[in-house]
Amino acid sequence: MNDFLYSNNNKRYHTLDYYYKNKFHSKVFKISLNAGFTCPNIDGTTGIGGCIYCSKSGSGEFAGKKEDPIETQFNKIKEMMHNKWKAGKYIAYFQARTNTYAPVEKLKEIYEPVLKYENVIGLNIATRPDAITKDCLDYLENLNKRTNLTIELGLQTIKEETSILVNRCHTLKCFEEMVRELRKRKIDIVVHIINGLPYETKEDMINTVKYLNKLDIQGIKIHMLSIIKDTPLEKLYQKEHFHVLTKEEYIDIIISQLEYLRPEIVIHRITGDPDPKELIEPTWLIKKFCVLNDIDKEMKKRDTYQGAKL
């Protein structure tokens, strides 16, 4: 097969590294930050307890410590990055929990100072589709005119029974409406999905990707379900012992999903990245680079690529 269009290495899918290097002509570091937000399905607004798979850090295992000021978090993580790479530009990634879930004035207090840090070229803001008000949309539209803004929307699955089981507490219609509102304002969207949610089939997971492929989204993050200590998901697993995907099953599903995604959609993540000390299952997730390499090998073996089945 010809080289995949959106690749500068052996990848057969549109990597984030390729996207950043072509857009910014530089190495780009994402600096993960924790601004101490909560979620509407934690505080009782739409639900209580949060998503059953979420750790105590609210999916912010590799973000800064919320006790530290944002600038301190930023500088600490920046220094760690520069132990590996000498130079680059920065995207501030507000990662933990729901990062638009506050009044706009509070959001401005958090986001605006970061834009003034040296070599910060953009913001990535992780949130939920039910946690962006009209005032917030207007502010995001303004931000988008001043910096490279990406909104990361959690969806996880289109299967309603699963969404209820994991306590998402928002509807698919709500998600669709927020995608439309953000794209009206020309704001880029990255959607988070999870493979291996309890009782979902390969077909269910592929259907989620087929659905997203029809929407005006610019990127996707595909996670493998991590069963983390001291979560409701761990209790469910210990009680019901639902099937956890093997590495081979996961790779097979990932490749099938990629084949149904438009080549221009950027793959921001293609596996999980759990804290090994907190992980119950699947233990194969700890060897992240082995998983990535095995995906590459299997895609080459099948002679397939992102968008092959469109």
Question: Domains of the chain, with CATH numbers?
Answer: 16-302 (3.20.20.70)
- Note the pLDDT of residue 308: 97
Proportion of the chain above pLDDT 90, given as a percent: 87
pLDDT of res. 1: 47
**Least confident residue range of 47-61, 111-125, 182-196:** 47-61
CB 155 within 8 A of CB 191: yes
Residue 269 has pLDDT above 90, yes or no: yes
Instruction: Go through the chain and tell me how many residues it has.
Output: 310
Which pLDDT tens digit goes with each residue over 4-35?
Answer: 888 878 899 999 999 999 999 999 999 999 99
| pLDDT digit string, tens, across residues 294-305 | 999 999 999 999
Residue 63: pLDDT above 80? no
pTM (2 d.p.): 0.95
Contact call for residues 123 and 111 (beta carbons, < 8 A) = yes
Q: What is the dihedral of CA 188, 270, 162, 197, to 10 degrees?
A: -160
